[in-house]
Amino acid sequence: MDKSATMATAEQKEKPHFAFLPSPGMGHIIPLFEFAKRLVINHGFHVSFFVITTGASAAQNELFLSDNLPAGFHAVEIPPVENISSFFTDDMRVVTRLSIIVRESLKQYLSSLLIKHRPKALIIDLFCTDAFEICKEVSIPVHSFFTASTLLMAFSLYLPTLDREVNGEFVDLPQHIQTPGCNPICPHDLLDQVKDRKNDEYKWYLLHVSRLPLAAGIFVNSWDDLEPVTLQALKENSFFQNIPIPPIHTIGPLIKQDEVITEKDAEILAWLDNQPPDSVLFVVFGSGGTLTSEQLTELAWGLEMSHQRFILVARKPSDASASAAFFNVGSDEDDPLMYLPEGFAKKTEGRGLVVPSWAPQVAILNHPSTGAFLSHCGWNSTLESVVHGVPMIAWPLYAEQRMNATFLTEEVGVTIKFPVVPGEELISRKEIEKMVRIVMEGEKGMAMRRRAQELKESAKIALNNGGSSDDSLCRVVQFWKSDQSLCS
């Protein structure tokens, strides 16, 4: 072996070696994926990225087929769990399914993977907390990456206390729920997982969040200017006197950076190139969101009545669950027009574009012709919209999306949301037309766009050298590098 090869080997051995473990689902994988790449590219780490293949969607599989993975980033597949469907029942909800998939995958494979790859620490997301016990047995510290808002994290840290102190259902409480030091939460806006305390979904969620204090540290995908009230409450910790909170590290906004543009994607972007600036409404409900047949029809006619330009990502409707596409996003290649009302395509020809299932979201939000985003308000989509200076119309479907929608409307000022009408689930075409016109044509829409541009600049500053998020991550990296036990 020549001298240069010997030096390279020695240098590789000195790199801190960390492993990442996200649960299935693009909303969980993408932020950990971007965090891992940042450690490799910007800080010289070696990363093993464990990928749970059980329940993987087509979009997840495509992410790791990319040739753009940096040197030092190694995707490691966790083999599928055999007969996983035998653990499921027809009425089982998403978090319960996720938790079972993760538990069985880790039970069968994590110990052997840790022994084989020997990382010095493991970074997990919220639904991988079974890793705490496994890593304790092999003396590997675990850090948590909370991939949703810090507002939800604060509530989640407080949830075990609420569970002990409150009788009955949280949604039946007559007053708002006051997480210490944070702005109050309307019971209607609570995440779905805590709305039925008798359901396994609640029990799993409570189990996961009750383990958060076991983490060596918690990373959050946010920054100081976006969530100042909640971050101050968490960092000061004086309001959470009886709750042991690990160190909180704000490192966001981390959003998808590299997007493979297919031939179909290029056609979408070429269509956008021919539209005026800020004139197109982008309509999509995240990686797992679906509408009912009736609601999709109302949405279509609401868009038509607004006379605005739009891109609509149409997905096979489901009358059973708003999260029906969670485990198969990217696999629906049917003609999207077959789900839409007859005559819709002809009436919107030239100003509307309908695409099936999946679209290059980051590229569309970054395009100068995109003027607003009709979104489910999942946290990844929220950050992508804010980072590109695009205001939103909130259409939350499940999980914590209602909490996000209210926060973005009332505290941040980049979103409007449909009014809640008790007993009415269906949003009418007239209401959709009205909201679209407000954002695309009205003074309120212009004010939201200005606020979104302010946050776009704020996000850029936070991530630049010396910015708040960059500084937060650099301090952690310096600590890790100074700790010789974390070097391979």
List 17, 46, 125, 208, catalytic entry: 125
Phi, psi at 353, each rounded to 5°: -130, 125
Q: What is the rounded CA–CA span in Å between residue 438 and residue 135? A: 52
Q: With contact defined as beta carbons under 8 Å apart, do 39 and 17 qualify?
A: no
Residue with tokens 């083999």: 79
Neighbouring C-beta atoms of residue 33, cutoff 10 Å: 25
CB atoms under 10 Å from CB of 456, counted, come to 17
Task: Look at the block and give the residue holding tokens 């978090």.
Answer: 95
Indicate the residue type of 169. E
How far apart are the C-alpha atoms of 291 and 319, rounded to whole Å?
A: 7
Cα first-last separation, the chain: 21
- Is-catalytic flag, 28? yes
172 catalytic? Reply is no
Task: Output Rg (C-alpha) for the chain, integer angstroms.
Answer: 22
The β-bridge relationship of strands 17-21 and 73-78 is unpaired
DSSP assignment string, 90-107? TT--HHHHHHHHHHHHHH
Query: Which H helix or E strand runs over 167?
Result: none
User: Which of 359, 401, 397 minimizes the C-alpha distance to 378?
Assistant: 401
222's tokens? 């946010």
In the structure encoding, which two tokens stand for residue 43, read together? Answer: 């800080």
d(CA 177, CA 3): 64
Strand partners, 353: 311
Q: Select which of 28, 46, 367, 388 is catalytic.
A: 28
263 backbone dihedrals φ, ψ, rounded to 5°:
-60, -40
Q: Which of 268, 218, 276, 274 is nearest to 243 (CA)?
A: 218
Beta strands in 5-131 (DSSP E): 17-21, 46-52, 73-78, 121-124
Contacts of 232 (CB under 8 A, 6+ apart): 181
Alpha helices in 274-360 (DSSP H): 293-306, 344-347
- Rounded Cα–Cα distance for residues 65 and 384 (Å): 23
Any idea which residues carry the catalytic annotation? Answer: 28, 125
